[in-house]
Amino acid sequence: MSQLQQFCHSRLSWGLLLLSAIGLELAALFFQYGMDLAPCVMCIYIRVAVLGIILAGLVGMLQPKMWFIRLVGLAIWVVSAVWGFKLAYELNEMQVNPSPFATCSFYPEFPSFMPLDTWLPAVFSPTGMCSDSPWSWLSVSMAQWMMVGFVLYVVMWLLMLIPTLKSTK
């Protein structure tokens, strides 16, 4: 078995995925509470996409040597990363090309069986507007950095896909 395949079948690889997503969630909370930047509803949805990547890491860590568990983890991972990229792209469009016709809601629309904004309002309640872009680093906005991050998650997913699907002997 190749070293890459061994790495993909290890808890370490899934743990690194989990830790990277937890780091993003902690950074979001630091921006919100440490730097007093109000998250918009799209930012909250992006947090949910990152939460999906956390879930993928947890699923993959359960039993990384079983192909079915890896497949479920990979599916959650890619859906979350692609959905997160789509959300970050839409938020970036609202910030770069503001339009009175393209606005976001002030209230999140979570399903009734999972009202995250009611369960954990400190993390999932929006208080800002989507058209605001209060932070940038190296002339790149937070939405653009999240687009980069989600693209990196998709690239890493592609790098893990083939060796992960191969069974261990």
Task: Tell me the catalytic residues.
Answer: 40, 43, 47, 104, 130
User: How far, in Å, CA of 149 to CA of 17, rounded?
Assistant: 12
Please tell me the chain's helix, strand, coil percentages from 3-state DSSP, rounded to the nearest 5: 65, 5, 30
List, as own/partner pairs, every contact residues 21-24 make where C-beta atoms lie below 8 angstroms and the sequence separation is at least 24, other chains included.
21/50, 21/51, 21/53, 21/54, 21/57, 22/54, 24/50, 24/53, 24/149
For 68-107, b/e burial (b = at least 16 CB within 10 A) is ebbebbbebbbebbbbbbebbebbbebbeeeeeeeebeee
> Nearest-CA neighbor of 83 among 157, 164, 165?
157
